[in-house]
Amino acid sequence: MLLVTFHGGASGINNVYVYDKSGTLKNEAALEAPTHGKLSELRGMVLAGGLLYVANGAKSESTVLVYKAPSSGSSFTYESTLIKPKRSPTGNFETSIAHPFGIAFDGPTCYVSNQDTNVVSQVSASGSLGQGCQSAYLTALFPNGTFLDGTYVASQVGILPAVDGVTTVVDHVHGGLGVGFDSGKVKNSVRDVAIVDGILFVADEPEKVVDMYSLTDSNYLGSSNGLAEGPTHLAISNGGLFVSAGSQLYWGSLPVSASLSLQTITPPPLPSKDKVKIGGISFDGASTVYVPYQTGTGGNNPGGSIYSYSVSQQNPPVLTNGTAIVTSLADTPEFVLHWSSGS
């Protein structure tokens, strides 16, 4: 089965659609509504410990929801909310959780990227955030620094719209994340996260690089080579890191030794003459990849499509045998997650 999240919002799709691998729609409301709040602008999904974790990304929600996977069928039962935001009396965000996008686990510890605070949060298995900085590296670098609760990777900008307080600025040389603005609002900021071999990979969209941080001591390890467009989604499969950046798909060999070298892999034929972007991809084992193409801008625009490709085992891999699984979507697809029903 393929689980799909969408741009969502007032005129978009605010639930997870489930398709079988031939593209037949099996469920257009796979997630039960949470006990408090609602489903809106769903983003990253990850299966961990038999549970499905989903970023409920709308600014008004800003939660990570936990669901129990079904033993049969494709409807997920709401279990709990792992983390939610803390707001000031004016409605501004007071901790690092704000407009979440990506989710990754290292054992019981969860890492969440947040677009509006432009940081990556470290969340405990109990759903708690540490006071201020949870990065030993940042604490040593800035012993008198001020950070939002739960901050593991910090921002290059200390004053952000809709965020209370001023945080310590961390430049790119020391691993701070870039952020871009439009009309006084955050437009481009941190995107997806992924973990492998004790390294946290972070998509730094404004800097057009993927940053790396050690999960042993939280040290900043450096960045990838610069990409043509800002990276947004990350995936790991068969000893490689796959990066979606605009209409390009990049690949880098793992484990990382001294640096992360990303190169474009044989680009699949784009399904439209118009400019499209690639969303969050997912793998069925090591031989098939599912690629969501984004042609709309969210809401009720023509949203895009989902294709499958065979993935070669050579380095770098080559994508062939493109097949349209879903040819037309009513909303922009964000992430695709392959899931084996009953597992």
- Residues above pLDDT 90, as percent of the chain: 84
Q: Looking at residues 211-238, what average pLDDT do you find?
A: 96
Question: Could you read off the pLDDT of 305-322 as tens digits, one per residue?
Answer: 999 999 998 889 999 999
Burial class of residue 301 in the structure, from the number of CB atoms within 10 Å of its CB (0-12 exposed, 13-18 middle, 19+ buried)? middle
Assess if residue 182 is contained within a domain: yes
Assess if residue 130 is contained within a domain: yes
Predicted local distance difference test score (pLDDT) of residue 273: 67
Q: What are the residues whose beta carbons fall under 8 Å from the beta carbon of 268, sequence distance 6 or more? A: 249, 291, 307, 309, 319, 322
Q: Looking at residues 195-207, what average pLDDT do you find?
A: 97
Q: What range does the domain containing 265 cover?
A: 83-338
**Does residue 110 carry a pLDDT above 50?**
yes
What is 266-306 written as a DSSP string? BPPPPS-SS--EE-B-EEETTTEEEEEEE-S-STTS--EEE
Split into its structural domains, the chain has a count of 1
Q: Residue 343: pLDDT band by 50, 70, 90 thresholds?
A: very low
pTM of the predicted model as reported, rounded to 2 decimal places: 0.96
CATH number of the domain bearing residue 150: 2.120.10.30
Assess if residue 63 is contained within a domain: no
Assess if residue 129 is contained within a domain: yes
Q: Give the residue carrying structure tokens 């940081």.
A: 119
Assess if residue 188 is contained within a domain: yes
Q: Looking at residues 233-258, what average pLDDT do you find?
A: 94
Assess if residue 52 is contained within a domain: no
Question: Could you read off the pLDDT of 29-43 as tens digits, one per residue?
Answer: 999 999 999 999 999
Averaged pLDDT score across all residues of the chain: 94
Q: Give Cα separations from 74 to 25, 26, 28, 305, 340 (angstroms).
A: 11, 8, 10, 21, 10
- Residues above pLDDT 70, as percent of the chain: 99
Q: Are 83 and 96 in contact (CB under 8 A)?
A: no
Assess if residue 286 is contained within a domain: yes
Assess if residue 139 is contained within a domain: yes
**What gap in Å lies between CA 167 and CA 19, rounded to an integer?**
43
